[in-house]
Amino acid sequence: MASPSLSHALPVLTAAALSLVAACGGSGPAPAPAAPSPTPTPPQPNLVVVLTDDLDFPTAPRLTRLADLVASQGLAFTHAYITQPLCAPSRASILTGQYSHNHGVTGNRAPSGFVAFRKQEADTLATWLKAAGYRTSLVGKYINDYATGADDSYIPPGWDDWFGHLGDTEDGRYFDYSVNDNGNAVAYDSKAEDYSVDVETARAVSFIRASAGRPEPIFLYLAPESPHTPASSPGRYAYDFRDATCPRVPSFNEGRSVESKPSWIRQIGPLTSAQIDGCDTLEVHRLRSMEPVQDEIAAVRQALADTGRLDTTYLFFTSDNGLLMGQHRAVGIKGNAYEEAARVPLSVRGPGVPTGAVDQLVLNLDLAPTLLELAGVPVPGSVDGRSLVPFLHGTPPSSWRSEALIENWANGPWWALRTPDFSYIHNSTDELELYDMKNDPYQLKNLRDTVDPSVLDGYEQRIKALFSCRGASCRDD
């Protein structure tokens, strides 16, 4: 019989030889590399927003504990602006990331306020974060006029836990008020233990502690009504800030320079001694009413630490608008484009957030996309704001917003454009103002009549472009 050819035998011999070599520990072809393990998705962080009511930028630095609780441990945004400096429009912008001309909430009362916002409630931070797995809670003030046109048991979509302050009157903010507690209207009295900020603190802490051991991240929207008038405070702070006054800055009780101001300022007249005393008294009460808010933040932080959540929580602190407190002769006035009304404190602490300050122009519209990006949630195309996450991660973007639109439809309309160097204001009376913010930060010298008209026309054209923006076209990338 013929022997098999070498070509047929080779594969058999080679296989056998390879088996022998492997058995003897010799080297051979490297095994196929194992498939790489998928990169684990980082857990979603917890998100806490503390939103005060009418806290102006000049007043915030007087609250020294606030700096220790938030700003000194993270980033302070020193040029944060409200796109419509009025409570309901601002709150709507925070929850939707939109300008007033897009979300449609242009005032505090029906048919605006809560009545108008109901059309937007299906698309807010609450619904977006809940859909992404967050357990959500609102404690405090929701939006002005809540719940006009609805039952007092009405809870907006997206909220797992609801403790919303009912009513919109100027009194009843701190004592003698009612709350929708998860569908049940509960009345509070005027006893010391009924003080609204303390009640809300207990509720926020309860929500955090009830979340211990649960796998879901939390989103807590905590909205005390301090320091809004009547700026009541609990007895334990009755002697604080006794010597405080309204800021005695160059624009306080402004003199002859109001001649270049719009008619609504000129009509106020110089403040009398009695009016100045009243301004100082109001500022004392406003500061005292913020003491319990600092207690509230401390208690929330402690509850987060006790439940193992603090190190994975981003804490935001800001206000819905500012307030003129004697500047330009106006006391307790908002809804205008002056710095004291439109500029607010904004600070953020959390994992990886560097310490320091950011002087870029940021807006209340930016909170929604920031929170969504931190949560790993795609930002809807309807959002007008830009995410601040690059700043929070210590990698500021190479380009940023070069101008900010400030609008008002409640007592106007009027509109303004804030750039890093200038503030341009077109009042409802068609009176124009232009201020050099680098050399005149207190807005004393109106440059309207000293510049070429084409400069003012340029501002008007930019404002018109922003009026028609929506989504990506608003972001000035």
| pLDDT tens, position by position, 216-273 | 999 999 999 999 999 999 999 999 999 999 999 999 999 988 999 999 999 999 999 9
| Greater pLDDT, 169 or 236 | 236
Q: pTM above 0.85?
A: yes
In the structure, what pLDDT confidence band is assigned to residue 32 with cuts at 50, 70 and 90? Answer: low
Cα-based angle 67, 72, 73 (whole degrees, multiple of 5): 120
Residue 337 has pLDDT above 60, yes or no: yes
Q: How far apart are CA 476 and CA 366, in angstroms?
A: 13
In the structure, what pLDDT confidence band is assigned to residue 27 with cuts at 50, 70 and 90? Answer: very low
- Which backbone phi and psi does 87 adopt, to 5 degrees? -55, -65
Taking the CA atoms of 56, 58, 59 and 63 in sequence, report the sign of the dihedral they define: positive
Q: How far apart are CA 404 and CA 415, in angstroms?
A: 11
CA distances from 352 to 26, 71, 311, 391 (A): 50, 14, 10, 10
Q: How far apart are CA 436 and CA 206, in angstroms?
A: 48
Q: Which residues contact 6 (CB under 8 A, 6 or more apart)?
A: none
- Which backbone phi and psi does 47 adopt, to 5 degrees? -130, 125
Residue 17 has pLDDT above 50, yes or no: no
Domains and CATH numbers, the chain: 46-396 (3.40.720.10)
Longest Cα pair distance anywhere in the chain, in angstroms?
Answer: 129
For the annotated catalytic residues, the residue numbers are 87
The amino acid sitting at 77 is F
Picking from 283, 227, 284, 290, the residue whose alpha carbon sits closest to that of residue 252 is 283
